[in-house]
Amino acid sequence: MYFSIPTSLPRRAGTAALALALVMVSGCKDFLDVAPQGQLSEDAIRNDPAAAQKLVDGVYNVMYLGGFGPDVHGLQYVIMTDIASDDSDKGSTPSDYGDALTIDNFTLTSSNGTPNNVWNGYFQGIGRANQALDKIPLSPAPEADKNRLISEVRFLRAYFYFNLVRLFGGVPLLDRVPQTSEINSPEFQQRATADAVYDFVISDLQFAADNLPLKGATQTGRVTKAAAQGMLAKVYLYRKNYQQAYNLTNEIIQGRSGTYALQENYADIWRTAGANGPESIFEVQAGVSASCNNSAVELYTVSQGPRSGGRGGWADLGFGFNTPTTSLASAYELNDVRRAASIIFIQPTAPRASAPPALYCGTAFAFRAKTR
């Protein structure tokens, strides 16, 4: 059976369909073409003087990485530093967290995920730093402001690399955002020597020390001249350049890099009362505070709190990791006030030789370089 269809109908239908499509496209464009949320476009950076500051804040925010993923200052970092040292043991129960146990015993293999988490955390920081350094020059902000922001980022990048080189030795040296054509370049795939990494760290820190403001001349929590000098002095100690380390620390002690002094009560250094105190040279702004959105390093405190069923019958306040060794507790001289301020004891009034240490007295409030 055949049907006869007028030849003019398809043409009209096609015209109507095209018109409808055009209406739909033009009508949908406004609400479909939305800029990605939580990201800064290059146009925003070029036109908004405040955008450059947001880029830099994104680098600072890496300091909060922790937990069981990419880590900068959380449990994974604690395992790679304190627990790997002679100052503390893994803690918790013997079977809890085998990766931490093998690091504590120096029996780890390539299947251990902790080094990878720390590696990823620090290279996330380096990646953000390079992105910020690449885009800050585009900002319409005053040149002095841009120079300060660049100096803050170069300090942070140096800090990330300083920890990496001490943990892993030579690592890939990413000094900029690679071009698309450079992604597979051996320059970014191969390890640099440890000496090359240290030279890079020193260069970044020297730039920061030369260009950052003094304490009190910038927002609390941001890097200062003394912070860069103090970190650079520590790097020089690792390089055994003791004269340079002395010169830099003396600048701080003599008050030429801002006003600093010893905390009157040593124990307050690790308490809320000592946050951003006179002894603090640089610290991450974290803790129960509306000004920092109650930010904290994930699991930093709870992972080191006493575990239920542990010695002394303490309530469950955490995972029980990172317990100080008896040798650390015994290393303090008699009547050294730093001992009680640094270690929580299950029986704090027991005789010195019989009081077993429980855990580090740590909070998520501060990471400090100190003049003490």
pLDDT > 70? residue 243: yes
Torsions phi, psi of 258, nearest 5?
Answer: 125, 175
What local confidence, expressed as pLDDT, does residue 244 receive?
98
Average pLDDT in the chain: 83
Interval 73-102 mean pLDDT: 93
Helix, strand, coil shares of the chain, percent, nearest 5, are: 50, 5, 40
Question: Which of 7-21, 29-43, 255-269, 343-357 has the weakest average pLDDT?
Answer: 7-21
| DSSP code, position 82 | I
Of the pLDDT bands very low, low, confident and very high (cuts 50, 70, 90), residue 312 is low
DSSP SS3 for 57:
helix
Q: Which residues pair with 48 in a beta bridge?
A: none
pLDDT > 50? residue 78: yes
Residue whose pair of structure tokens reads 């006030």 in the numeric block: 337
Percentage above 70 pLDDT, the chain: 78
pLDDT > 70? residue 98: yes
**Residues 165 and 126 sit within 8 Å (Cβ to Cβ):** no
What local confidence, expressed as pLDDT, does residue 29 receive?
54
Per-residue burial over 329-366, b = 16 or more CB atoms within 10 Å of its CB, e = otherwise:
beeeeeeeeebebbbbbbeeeeeeeebebbbbbbbbbb
CA 63 – CA 69 distance, rounded (Å): 13
pLDDT > 50? residue 362: no
Interval 356-370 mean pLDDT: 38
What local confidence, expressed as pLDDT, does residue 314 receive?
60
Residue whose pair of structure tokens reads 């660049």 in the numeric block: 150
pLDDT single digits (tens) 24-63: 445 555 555 555 556 677 888 888 888 999 999 999 999 9
User: Which of the given ranges, 91-100, 196-205, 277-286, 314-323, has the highest pLDDT on average?
Assistant: 196-205
Structure-block tokens of residue 370: 């100190």
Residue in 205, 207, 269 with CA at minimum distance from that of residue 237? 205
What local confidence, expressed as pLDDT, does residue 8 receive?
40
CA 291 – CA 272 distance, rounded (Å): 14
Interval 131-135 mean pLDDT: 96
Entry pTM: 0.82
What local confidence, expressed as pLDDT, does residue 30 receive?
56
Of the pLDDT bands very low, low, confident and very high (cuts 50, 70, 90), residue 9 is very low
What local confidence, expressed as pLDDT, does residue 313 receive?
56
Sign of CA dihedral 357, 372, 63, 157: negative
Please give the span between the terminal C-alpha atoms of the chain, in angstroms, as a whole number. Answer: 101
pLDDT > 90? residue 167: yes
Structure-block tokens of residue 156: 């942070």
Interval 188-210 mean pLDDT: 96
What local confidence, expressed as pLDDT, does residue 352 receive?
56
